Amino acid sequence: MSRLAKKPISLPTGVTCTLVGSLLTLNGPKGTLSYTLPATVVAKVEDNAILLSSTVSEGKSFAYWGLAWALI
């Protein structure tokens, strides 16, 4: 079970995040990053932080939760 993926990802000052469907786009002073979330990972953007959760509780699909957290 991923302990890191339970923690919110803080957005630094000057970075904005938009979430459209499963496409997460981050814009900042150094450029733009786009990441398509796996089907089993759900994201919410609240209070300058990104919160991730998984829709499954075991197996390979569950591991995508921690991977998505690390890549973002």
For the cut 90, the answer to whether the pLDDT of residue 3 exceeds it is no
Q: How far apart are CA 28 and CA 4, in angstroms?
A: 23
Residue 2: pLDDT band with limits 50, 70, 90 = low
For the cut 60, the answer to whether the pLDDT of residue 1 exceeds it is no
pLDDT tens track for 4-16: 888 999 999 999 9
Domain range annotation of the chain: 4-71
Are residues 9 and 72 in contact, defined by beta-carbon separation less than 8 angstroms?
yes
- Regarding the domain delimited by 4-71, which CATH topology (the fold level of the hierarchy) does it fall under? Outer Surface Protein A; domain 3 (3.90.930)
Its pTM stands at 0.86
In this structure, how many other beta carbons lie within 10 angstroms of the beta carbon of residue 13?
7
